[in-house]
A = this chain, B = another copy of it.
Amino acid sequence: MRGNELLTIGDLARRTGLSVSAIRFYEGRGLVSAIRTSGNQRRFLRSDIRRLSFALIAQKLGLTIEEIGAELAGLPQGRTPTLADWNRISRHFRAEIDRRIALLERTRDKLDQCIGCGCLSLRKCGLYNPGDVAGGEGEGPRFVLHR
């Protein structure tokens, strides 16, 4: 960074903690876009630091690059996200987190039942496939966690 308003890719990497190659990759996927110097080097806006910060947080929550791109598509390039932007995206994140917590809690409850019931009988276990003992049909344990 040279005191002017635009960031090189290296600047952006230092400010976000991302690698240079990852930023190029994200540019390819549309998470940020860069203007080019006459010599074909990328220059980024300061607001791209925030875009990539969003991306990193979202990624921690398990969103794919594509999903993150979809969220970010609502944030016009070069504008600092407003409170409304942030709230909209936050609500998605919040819902996603809640969904995951609920899934894990259901799984934990099943597991606890299973530990409690000594279910190596394989008869009543919510985790095991009853078909194992009961007969030759049924869906198989792949489908048993009832997500």
Contact = CB atoms under 8 A, between A and B. Distances in A.
Contact of A140 (B18, B112, B142): B18
Given A86-B120, A100-B104, A111-B97, A17 B140 contact: yes
A16 B141 CA distance: 6
A97 to B, nearest CB: 5
Interface size of A as a range: 35 or more
A108 interface: yes
Contacts of A132: 15, 49-50, 53
Given A107-B97, A115-B90, A140 B60 contact: no
A120 B15 CA distance: 17
B107 A145 contact: no
Q: How many copies does the complex hold?
A: 2
Contact of A120 (B61, B81, B107, B128): B81
Interface of A: 1, 14-18, 49-50, 52-53, 56-57, 60-61, 80-83, 86-87, 90, 93-94, 97-98, 100-101, 104-105, 107-108, 111-112, 114-115, 118-120, 122, 127-129, 131-132, 136, 139-145
